[in-house]
Structure 1
Amino acid sequence: MVALILFGSFFLLLFLNIPIALSLGMSSIITLLYEKLPLSMVPSNMYSSTSKFVLLAIPFFIFGGNIMAEGGISERLINFCRSLVGHKRSGMALVCVIVSCFFAAISGSGPATVAALGMIIIPAMVQAGYDKASGTALMSTAGAIGIIIPPSITFVIYGSITGTSVGSLFASGIVPGILMGVLLVVAMMWVSRKRELQLLPKATWKERWESFKDAFWGLMMPVIILGGIYGGIFTPTEAAAVSAIYGLFVGLFIYKTITFKDVPRILADSVSQTAVVMFIVGTASLFAWILTVTGLAAQASNVLISVSSGNKYIFLLIVNIILLIAGCFIDANSACYILVPILVPVATALGINPIHLGCIMIVNMAIGMVTPPVGVNLYVGCGIAKISLKEISIAVLPFIVASIAALLLTTYVPIISMFLPNLLG
């Protein structure tokens, strides 16, 4: 009965178009009242879940990403990648994916990556001869790599829930993120195989050098973040603070594309975005706490063990199916809080490394960002390209297939996600 009340009220509220964070909180409160548990657990649980030191990385990464986006880094990255591969047949598709991977390492957010790059890349792809819907679908899917390539806010949240090293989680996402990018380019090559594409003139080495110098300070940001973490210079949380200061310095004094008058506005935007994320963290953690104290998480874990018959490969297949369905309806951060208490104990019992499981979960959630009806990246892409959700929902199918191929490889070939964490210790 508790499960019916908790999940029934949650999905009813979602069906009524109530925001996910409010749906999680309200369904949790309804269940607390039914179970006659003290309502004082609401503020205390939300406070304890959002006051973790590791979560300080979130506002800093958001601020750093906003600063670099405002600072014109997206145009510089695009120009640099164009100079390298723009002359090839699938040059603009390559530019889209490569720049998305670079920008993902700055913003850590899928929608932010699509919003920052889409305004430039989508029109450029159309001009090069690509279908607008397919170009927008590729940009939306490539933007989802933003939560796989470090630094990723979703990895920070997963690490805070499980106590897993955030640095190791960051490392686990690098190869799967690149793999997804490669397969997306292959999918675009197949989709556009019969189209007459306009090739850019091949850039000279001098032009490439100039574009590299122009993009250098933006390219250094992920190097500083990841190099500092894996070089033992600072923690992921400290790295986030360093990225914010570095971005501010580059924007104000090197690129000079922002002024001191712009800083309060960017800070306000960053605070607003952080508030949204932390509100979801608070309500989702309350929901997860109820799953635990009512025994629902343990029951669900036992059911998973029973259904998979203790076979970790069957379990991982079930996990992927559950996460792909969940990704159609809820955001990545909420999914972590709801599903991690259920999945991690089973994975641990079956000998699956929690870092590997975390990477699988985040790749699934990345796919969820482009699967209707709640595929947030699709809505951002539609708004930029001025096309309907129906058009992009059809066009995105080949890229979802490519992403699922990357997911299956990440799932069943653990070395793909575990190679760098093991190498870096």
Structure 2
Amino acid sequence: MIITTGVACSILVGGFLFLIFIRVPVAFALGIATIPIVMLDIRLTPFIILDRMFQSYNSFILLAVPFFLLAANLMNSGKITARLIDFARVLTGWLPGGLGHVNVAVSMLFAGISGSSTADAAGCGKILIPAMVKEGYDTRFAVAITACSSVMGVIIPPSILMVVWGGVMQMSVGALFLAGAIPGLLIGGALMATVYGYAKVYDYPIALKPTFAQFWKAFKGAFLAMLTPVLVIGGIVGGIVTPTESAIIAAAYALFLGAFVYRTVTFRDLGGIFYDTGRFASISLFAIGTASAFGWMLAFYNVPRMVVDGLTAYQMGYVGTALIIAALFLFFGLFIDAIPTIIILGTVLLPVATAAGIHPVAFAIIGIISLAFGLVTPPYGLCLLISAAIGGLNVVNVMRDVVIILAPMLLILLLIILFPEIALWLPRTLMPMTFK
């Protein structure tokens, strides 16, 4: 038999949601949901699904994913995160709620190195959450600010999500990196303003009043690590290296710092680092494969065209369409990992955004920021789960603080929707030939 668009959409989406409901892992649910369609439609065979999965893996740009993860793991294992924290402490520790500001600042610094929010939450959280509790901060606030600040790992360049987005949508990764810089800094500013408000209400202390000697010592300790984003982003924007090559440079540079400069990574440590990197990379890449097969199936049955026709019929205009897109990414981010959501929802909504006059780069930034918030919202909320586990709390106990901290971050997202030049100005200025 030949299946119609409506029936195919119902079977695919309905089957996927049912599998998620019974707690089948997302990567497996995406693959299993395609099986009934393959069995029912005479035009399809299992080999087509396997071929689509292989084609998704056969991508040079996706090699950047494991290498950025390796760079993050090397930074954490090499105690480089601690050096960044020391530098953030002298930069912002003198403000009311000093350690809270340090938490945000170090997440911004770490984001410019790792491209991974979960690595940020784990690496920084292990040090800062106990330190904040020891200094008299409420554990719920310490967990919430750590989780929320870690989302900048996928917004401030370099970003693993931007690498995946660029590979899937055939877009310039360099342009995406530049487009994420100003929104990331604005979100960091909003977080620091929130911390300042908490400090005034709860009388949280300053961390220290640094002397010039302390500042200089911390700067020297972190300077080499902070060169990483210069090497990565500068190389891509300058057209010297590809995103994959820049990820390899970041990993090699992190290994060089840890093993030969700071001497905090030994040969014995490398086995565990490579194992953890391979384990996390395989999870992400397997999800890319099954999501690509699922997305191809949707495209085969013209589901994207049906969605485009349905949304454009309402003629909501630029702002209305952008708000709907953000809402859909926010909703899907509650339940699904960001990478498969990009492959499935991003490819479906790109024609909708184009029809509404939304620039593809602005569309990407709206989607990535919306998905980043899903890292701190249950039931998925991976960064929140990691931070809560470090703080020894149940996720439910910290939700009030998470909502309070997320509110100004959502306002930044709304600001980007209303004024897309916030994201577009930097790539338009620095990459005029590539950025279109």
What is the TM-score with the length of structure 2 in the denominator? Answer: 0.95
Aligned to 2:426: 420
The match for 1:354 is 360
Unpaired runs of 5+ in structure 1?
Answer: none
Matched, 1:44 2:80: no
Name the Cα RMSD after superposition.
1.3
CA contact (8 A) 1:13 1:23 kept: yes
From 11, 16, 20, give the equivalent of 1:10. 16
Cα distance in 2 for partners of 1:32, 1:312 equals: 38
Most deviating of 180-189 and 170-179: 180-189
Counterpart for residue 176 of structure 2: 169
Cα displacement (A) at 1:226: 1.2
2:235 aligned partner: 228
Does structure 1 residue 194 correspond to structure 2 residue 201? yes
Give the equivalent residue in structure 1 for 2:103.
96
Shift of 1:395: 1.8
C-alpha distance in structure 1 between counterparts of 2:183 and 2:113, whole Å: 17
- Residue 319 of structure 1 pairs with residue 325 of structure 2: yes
Shift of residue 197, structure 1, vs aligned partner = 1.8
Structure 1 moving runs of 4+ over 4 Å: none
Deviations 1:185-234 (A, max 9, x none): 22222234321222233111011101111111211111211122222221
Residues 56-105 of structure 1, C-alpha deviation per residue, up to 9 Å, x if partnerless?
11111111111111111111111111112212213222211111011112
Equivalent in the alignment of 1:209: 216
- Could you tell me how far 1:310 is from its partner in structure 2? 5.3
Secondary structure (helix, strand or coil) at the match of 2:136 reads: coil
Q: How far apart, CA to CA, are the structure 1 residues paired with 2:252 and 2:383?
A: 28
**Percent of residue pairs identical:** 37
The amino acid that maps onto 2:96 is R
Equivalent residue number for residue 365 of structure 1: 371
- Rounded to whole Å, the distance in 2 between the matches of 1:304 and 1:50 is 32
Task: Pick from 68, 85, 108 the counterpart of residue 78 of structure 1.
Answer: 85
What is residue 60 of structure 1 aligned with on the other side?
67
What letter is aligned with 2:365?
A: C
Distance 1:164 1:33 in 2: 35
Which residue identity lines up with residue 23 of structure 1 in the other structure? A
Moved more, 229-238 or 336-345: 229-238
Greater mean deviation of Cα atoms: 352-361 or 266-275: 266-275
Matches of 2:313 and 2:54, distance apart in 1: 36
Contact 1:128 1:199 in 2 (8 A): no
Which amino acid letter does the alignment assign opposite residue 407 of structure 1? L
Letter matched to residue 183 of structure 1: A
Asked whether 1:241 is paired with 2:260, we answer no
Distance 2:241 2:129 in 1: 37
CA distance in 1, matches of 2:413, 2:208: 35
Is 1:330 the counterpart of 2:330? The answer is: no
Q: Given residue 50 of structure 1, which amino acid in structure 2 is its aligned partner?
A: Y
Q: Distance in 2 between matches of 1:379 and 1:349?
A: 38
Asked if 1:261 is matched to 2:258, the reply is no
* Structure 2: runs of 5+ lacking an equivalent: 1-6, 432-436
Report the Cα distance in structure 2 between the residues aligned to 1:370 and 1:261, rounded to whole angstroms. Answer: 34
Retained in 2: the 8 A contact 1:67–1:251?
Answer: yes
Aligned residue runs from structure 1 range 288-327, under 5 A: 288-307=295-314, 309=315, 311-327=317-333
* 1:124 matched residue in structure 2: 131
Q: Provide the rounded CA distance (Å) in 2 between the counterparts of 1:305 and 1:87.
A: 51
Closer, same or farther: CA 35–189 of 1 in aligned 2, 3 Å: farther
TM-score, normalised with respect to structure 1: 0.97
Residue 384 (1) aligns with residue 407 (2): no
Q: Choose from 127, 132, 137 the match for 2:144.
A: 137
User: How many pairs align?
Assistant: 424
Distance 1:200 1:18 in 2: 44
